[in-house]
Structure 1
């Protein structure tokens, strides 16, 4: 949305192709578009692997009927809107459609989506047989194009512009390749920096300030919410948390179902989160030390490793999420570590040279 907003600001017409669940958000910010195809079901696999292709297969995004339906919807949207270029993120069919219709394609990309990904902290599992990509390769064969072995090939081989919404130190595997254009974060300012609820503002008057975003993790929410309640009772911590199910306020604790993350992060002294890219880049933008509990997908685990290797954060002990005393000790150990704060500031300064959406649209206009 940040890229679309910048393009619209420059006078370009913009249209989205999104799932139904995103329509209210688009309309809130004055955008419109068409409905994308929805996968009909999750696929029963004996084992769900960790790569993007594995996860896409599990979600039903490589099933023949979904690929066919998705391309039909894409062709219809392209025929009606007549785009000069298409910009995608983690899309498994639009690269094929753009290739067929000879439309310039731009895409975001992360090394975490590749089949070559390896992690130092744990092994990577792969469970998708080559036949899962049969429908993609049937389309490529009809166009006289060599088959793909992994969904990441759709971007690497067919996109005219590949944007990396990170900084080189967070994606070192891509930093020496001219085709991958680093632009910094692509966070949508209007979404991330809205007005904070009064209860949150009251908590942020105290210190040290802890921002917690675990709603996208595999942790049971009632457990970590109870731990946060106990933590403020036995420590000096002031905690603001975003939650899916809970909402409560007590002295030095505010838990809300939705929060403008950038507004909270700009005041935080530390962030405990599940490794999502947006939260990580918000912390980087504001030079905030991070405690990470990356959920079991490759992107979160990959970037968590990079943050830790750069000294700007630590991997949190999952057991501490159910033990307020352990959690308080862990948080204070990071807060007291000057080297972690210094590394976080170095990352912030590196990211500050990238103009994000402005750079992205400059490059889009060039193709």
Structure 2
């Protein structure tokens, strides 16, 4: 395929505060550009601004409004409803925005993650699609079978309008209709995926490029203690709770702590830092991993794979979120991580677990998985698949 392949990136659009899908897509985009491809994104609000500041062309896109009626995410169906991605006005506006961007940019291939409208827009436009696949987002996952008819009706209205095959489960639109399915994981972390036709295990898809100028000015002359990286995303632990707990846990310990807060909708401004504890919206993970000894995170897939790629031991606190809980259990089963319940997120308990994980066999297990992860090709293999997608579809 010519090197001027045009790729449209459609990461997951929720504005609740998580940026994992966007940073993953940026990692792919950087590598595509190095290969001579042209890349654009379709995204709105703060995520769109973040992508634009990273140097990419961004088409306007509506922002889903989170539904406050769901407090526990028990399935991907719950996730779609909670994020507002199933709101009828949003579904209509998102399809229109994507089709307008497609008409202007004229992509050869579309890359998408956790974005139901992408499956519809790609089919309408007749553009090959490459989508992220995972077991927690599969319609056959037991948690996703308890389907509410309202969500199906919303999407079927537009599938019928465009003469496309209707769905029985909204999760069918996550990746089951894509031309190519990418699983950024290991078979042992998602064994159920091995039985799905057309799955391509690529190990990981991460943004590993960074520039030293992206680091905060304080980082270069920071206190010389072992480094802990914390990212808790949006979930059961509110910013108010985790800021207080992190501060109380680490303020008198010989560690330096970076807490990535993202764009959490309940965090209007960053909390005050201490000499050994820093709170930031975003720090390029690849820039700090070589200095990090331990990661504490929410069980999200991208952070999980980052810790494994760099051979870091970890502590996960997934809360009542079925996908994060699944990831945390599988990761703990490898011996590279320790899973904690929400109730254990308190200073005394956290201090003891930090000591256990840092001094235990967890780092050795993670380093072993790091070597295996690299064998699957990672972001580079994903880029190869995208560049060759038109020929292979």
TM-score (norm 2): 0.81
1:312-331 map, 5 Å:
312-322=336-346, 324-331=347-354
Name the counterpart of 1:121.
none
Name the counterpart of 2:317.
293
* Deviation at residue 128 of structure 1 after TM alignment: 4.6
1:276 corresponds to which of 297, 300, 310 = 300
Say whether the 8 Å CA contact 2:301–2:324 is kept in structure 1: yes
Name the counterpart of 1:166.
185
* Deviation at residue 155 of structure 1 after TM alignment: 4.3
Name the counterpart of 1:19.
44
* Deviation at residue 156 of structure 1 after TM alignment: 4.3
Name the counterpart of 2:17.
none
Flag structure 1 segments of 5+ consecutive residues without an equivalent.
119-123
Structure-2 change in CA distance of 1:259 and 1:204 (3 Å):
farther
Flag structure 2 segments of 5+ consecutive residues without an equivalent.
1-25, 262-266
Alpha-carbon displacement from aligned partner over 1:302-340 (angstroms, at most 9, x marks no partner): 211110111111112433433x332211111112222x2
Structure-2 change in CA distance of 1:44 and 1:288 (3 Å):
closer
Structure-2 change in CA distance of 1:198 and 1:150 (3 Å):
same
Name the counterpart of 2:114.
90
2:125 corresponds to which of 92, 97, 101 = 101
Q: Which has the higher contact order (CA 8 A, sep 6+)?
A: 2
Q: Provide runs of 4+ in structure 1 moved above 6 Å.
A: none
Matched residues in 2 for 1:60 and 1:222: separation?
A: 24
Alpha-carbon displacement from aligned partner over 1:239-292 (angstroms, at most 9, x marks no partner): 333345224132x43443432222232222211111222221211111111100
Matched residues in 2 for 1:227 and 1:138: separation?
A: 46
* Deviation at residue 197 of structure 1 after TM alignment: 3.3
* Deviation at residue 146 of structure 1 after TM alignment: 4.0
1:31-70 map, 5 Å:
31-39=56-64, 41-43=65-67, 45=69, 49-70=73-94
2:242 corresponds to which of 216, 224, 248 = 224
Alpha-carbon displacement from aligned partner over 1:91-140 (angstroms, at most 9, x marks no partner): 1112112212211111112111124335xxxxx58765223211322343
Name the counterpart of 1:130.
149
Name the counterpart of 1:337.
360
Structure-2 change in CA distance of 1:125 and 1:91 (3 Å):
closer
Structure-2 change in CA distance of 1:23 and 1:344 (3 Å):
same
1:262 corresponds to which of 258, 267, 286 = 286
* Deviation at residue 172 of structure 1 after TM alignment: 1.4
Name the counterpart of 1:197.
216
Say whether the 8 Å CA contact 2:319–2:341 is kept in structure 1: no
Alpha-carbon displacement from aligned partner over 1:122-178 (angstroms, at most 9, x marks no partner): xx5876522321132234345655432223312444211111122222221113445
Structure of higher CA gyration radius: 1
* Deviation at residue 300 of structure 1 after TM alignment: 1.5
Name the counterpart of 2:22.
none
Name the counterpart of 1:349.
371
Matched residues in 1 for 2:150 and 2:271: separation?
A: 43
Say whether the 8 Å CA contact 1:47–1:127 is kept in structure 2: no
Name the counterpart of 2:168.
149
Aligned length, in residue pairs: 357
Matched residues in 1 for 2:56 and 2:47: separation?
A: 11
Matched residues in 2 for 1:315 and 1:25: separation?
A: 31
Matched residues in 2 for 1:175 and 1:317: separation?
A: 29
Matched residues in 1 for 2:355 and 2:122: separation?
A: 51
TM-score (norm 1): 0.86
Name the counterpart of 1:210.
228
**RMSD, matched Cα:** 2.7
1:2 aligns with 2:20: no
Matched residues in 2 for 1:211 and 1:262: separation?
A: 12
